[in-house]
Amino acid sequence: MKFHLNHDPASKTLTIPRAALQLSGLAETSDLTIHTENGCVLLLPEKLSVAQTLKTFQLLTAINAELLFRLAKSSALAHGAENDACDGCHWEKEFRMSCRCVCWQRPALTRRKAISNAQ
């Protein structure tokens, strides 16, 4: 689940919504670790159980796939691809976004082959 935060950059603190902590199962966890990198933050319990590790891995995998999709889409648009959505392709269904990847600018036969190979 995603939460959109309206962060005031002038503020020195950022509050994580209690609902997000409750849904993540971290509301009652006292030892949390914040992992940071330029442009992102990840909050995890200090000690992960096997189930928590698996769920974290699954979430990161899903986020990774979405980010790769966005990167490909942005790259295609930056290199002159037309701004037309493919109608109901595998990737559009997978990410519930309009699909403007480079492969969707090819002729229909190649597009069908790319979709069948992706599935």
25 HSE (CA, 13 A, CB side): 9
Taking the C-alpha atoms of residue 103 and residue 110, their distance in angstroms, rounded to an integer, is: 8
| Of 118, 78, 79, 82, nearest in space to 100 by CA | 82
Return the DSSP state at 103: G
**Model pTM?**
0.60
Taking the C-alpha atoms of residue 26 and residue 44, their distance in angstroms, rounded to an integer, is: 8
Neighbours of 61 (CB within 10 A): 10
Q: Tens of pLDDT along the chain (119 residues)?
A: 888 888 888 998 888 999 999 999 999 999 999 999 999 999 999 999 999 999 999 999 989 988 888 887 777 777 766 654 444 555 555 655 555 444 444 444 444 444 555 54
Q: What is the pLDDT of residue 75?
A: 79
